[in-house]
Amino acid sequence: MLLDKVIGGYLDHLFEGWEPWMISLASSCATVILIISYNFLFQDESLFLRAKKFVLRNARRIPAVRNKISQEFDVSKKRMENELMAPTRNLGSIRALPQSRSAEEVLALAKKYKETESADWSKLSGAIYSGSDEITKLSTSIYPMFAWSNPLHPDVFPSVRHMESEVVRMCCTMFNGDEKTCGSMTSGGTESIFMACKAYRDYALARGIKKPVMVVPVTAHAAFEKSADYLCMGVRKIPMDSTTCQVNLRAMKKAIDGRTCMLVGSAPHFPHGIIDQIGEISALGLKYKIPVHVDSCLGGFLIPFMEKAGYPLELFDFRLEGVTSISADTHKYGYAPKGSSVILYRNHTYLHHQYSVTPDWPGGIYASPTMSGSRVGASIASAWSVMLYMGEDGYVKATKETIETTRKIKEALKKMKNIYILGDPLVSVIAVGSKDFNVYLLSDAMSARGWHLNALQFPSSIHVCITKRHTKPGVAEKFLQELQECITNIMENPPKEDTGMAAIYGLAQSIPDRTIISEMAWAYLDSCVALPGSGS
């Protein structure tokens, strides 16, 4: 992914300038060499690691070191911006409102912008889950009918109000809820997760818990930590079992205390595509009277159909008594265009804590169910239309094809030498690692052939997220063939030293001071909204 690549370029450069200069600091010299060598990736937080952290953190307090870092940052930031802007370099940039143009002119310009995108969708990992011509046509026909609609005004737009209710109800049924099950539509998975965290924070506060803490597997989506950050909640991260890649239940149980406001399990999680032990987490929730959220953002429109598609799973939904909420993304395997997701609760007790009400506002009594005020009615209408178009049979068929393709790829990967699969993925994501070579060399090699794979860390691995695009004839075969060729190449001609992503990922994981990584990510985000030469 781009962020990884960009941070990579950054790190690469940052550390380039360090070594000769740091050598003059005799006391720090040894430490810096240690930082630059990344052969000690998976050590626990030993005295050694803590010492490294300490030295690095304090080295950054020395003004000369700080200046040096800041200089390198500036140079690296420029490089990063150049890389991000390269595809649109020739478009010029609009910096102030222009003289008005005709609609034809604007459309022609948009077309020119669009031509800078060239990715082959069948070579992506996730990102575009269907994007079929039929669904594109349906969504773009629905859009103009609802472009101005806003669920904030249900009296003006009763149609969209009704559609949202139907989408929520269809999802409640998919996840085996009853007549009490309820929920909302949101703008995406992150907002769905955010709303669940907000609901459980306020539910805990109402029960007298002073500083609510969420108990979350490390493999759960980053949106949980992000929500905790926004909502001033505590987080206890629970390690995964290194063999199954499921959450370590014993550690989860031990982490529960009087401040725990929610337990989380994923079905499946993003990194390795593994479904946590939802049944056991649900039981923990019941035993300790703590709500349980099941994050099914990724798999929410696959796993409910897997039994009918011939791939039965253990229970993961409202049939488990302890499960109090489920998030599912209509804009992933629901195949709707981007901008919609669903959050469901066992009953209104939880949903009410999601709501926000401002009773005394001079603008009126203001009540809204989710983050947004005005909401995009057209997103709701698009999701609704795609769900009706697909129908249950359509989703079962799509699930069958997607899982069939994934299982075929999984079996072939199992047979390949020099790589191994992390855990036993049952849905649509497969992560691989290697004991024989730096696995990021493999994503580098595949990316040179146009295939996008996701780089994972802790442990070093990469994954592919299989979508409807990969089920087309020949795509899986081509993927496997090119992957095997890349592995063979790497094994036959092992690089003397790692370059590109391979070097960078090792380095990024070995830097003990994570604030450096955060600062680089800020610069990356800055670059995402920069124009050429804007000096911002």
Ligand X SMILES: *[C@@H]1O[C@H](CO)[C@@H](O)[C@H](O)[C@H]1NC(C)=O
Site residues, ligand PLP (CB under 6 A): 188-190, 193, 221, 223, 266, 269-270, 295, 297-298, 329, 341
| Residues 22, 26, 32, 36, CA torsion sign | positive
Q: Is the peptide bond before 268 cis (omega within 30 degrees of 0)?
A: yes
Contact flags string 129-168 toward ligand X, x per CB under 6 A: ----------------------------------------
**CB of 13 or CB of 346, closer to ligand X:** 346
Interface with ligand X (CB under 6 A), residue total 6
Contact flags string 32-71 toward ligand X, x per CB under 6 A: ----------------------------------------
Burial degree of 164 (CB within 10 A; 0-12, 13-18, 19+): buried
Asked if residues 200 and 214 have their Cβ atoms less than 8 Å apart, the reply is: yes
324 binds ligand X (CB under 6 A): yes
Q: Cα–Cα distance between 283 and 272 in angstroms, integer?
A: 24
207 binds ligand X (CB under 6 A): no
**CB of 8 or CB of 188, closer to ligand PLP:** 188
Least Å distance, CB 158 to ligand X, is 27
At residue 55, what are phi and psi to the nearest 5 degrees? -65, -45
From the list ligand PLP, ligand X, none, partner contacted by residue 190 (C-beta under 5 to 8 A by kind): ligand PLP
From the list ligand X, ligand PLP, none, partner contacted by residue 221 (C-beta under 5 to 8 A by kind): ligand PLP
Least Å distance, CB 456 to ligand PLP, is 13
DSSP letter, residue 341: E
**CB of 28 or CB of 330, closer to ligand PLP:** 330
Tell me the sheet residues that pair with 327.
295, 343
From the list ligand PLP, ligand X, none, partner contacted by residue 66 (C-beta under 5 to 8 A by kind): none
Least Å distance, CB 457 to ligand PLP, is 16
Q: What is the chain's length?
A: 536
**CB of 22 or CB of 466, closer to ligand PLP:** 466
Tokens for 265?
């399990």
Q: Cα–Cα distance between 22 and 28 in angstroms, integer?
A: 7
Contact flags string 342-371 toward ligand X, x per CB under 6 A: ----xxxx----------------------
Least Å distance, CB 280 to ligand X, is 17
Only segment of 341-349, 398-406, 416-424, 447-455 that touches ligand X (CB under 6 A): 341-349
DSSP-based helix, strand, coil % in the chain, nearest 5 = 50, 10, 40
Helices (H) and strands (E) in the chain, counts: 18, 13
Tokens for 349?
């007790």
Least Å distance, CB 345 to ligand PLP, is 17
From the list ligand PLP, ligand X, none, partner contacted by residue 324 (C-beta under 5 to 8 A by kind): ligand X
**CB of 225 or CB of 519, closer to ligand PLP:** 225
The secondary element (H helix, E strand) that includes residue 502 is helix 500-510
Query: Which of 66, 101, 180, 338 lies at the binding interface for ligand X (CB under 6 A)?
Result: 180
**CB of 296 or CB of 405, closer to ligand PLP:** 296
**CB of 196 or CB of 390, closer to ligand PLP:** 196
- The residue among 342, 346, 354 whose CA lies nearest residue 201 is 354
Task: Classify 451 in phi/psi space as left (phi over 0), alpha (psi -120 to 50) or beta.
Answer: beta
**C-alpha dist (Å) from residue 527 to 18, 141, 210, 413, 515:** 24, 35, 39, 37, 18
Tokens for 40?
């000690």
Q: Cα–Cα distance between 9 and 345 in angstroms, integer?
A: 43
**CB of 297 or CB of 453, closer to ligand PLP:** 297
Contact flags string 489-528 toward ligand X, x per CB under 6 A: ----------------------------------------
Rounded to 10 degrees, the C-alpha dihedral 484/124/297/168 comes to: -140
Alpha helix segments (H runs only) across 313-430: 348-354, 377-415
From the list ligand PLP, ligand X, none, partner contacted by residue 348 (C-beta under 5 to 8 A by kind): ligand X
- The residue among 190, 198, 192 whose CA lies nearest residue 167 is 192
Residue 522 identity: W
Least Å distance, CB 380 to ligand PLP, is 15
- The residue among 293, 299, 288, 290 whose CA lies nearest residue 278 is 293
- 3-state SS assignment for residue 38: coil
Question: Which residue is nearest to ligand PLP, using beta carbons?
Answer: 189
From the list ligand PLP, ligand X, none, partner contacted by residue 189 (C-beta under 5 to 8 A by kind): ligand PLP
**CB of 295 or CB of 513, closer to ligand X:** 295
Q: Which residues bind to ligand X, rule: CB under 6 A?
A: 180, 324, 346-349
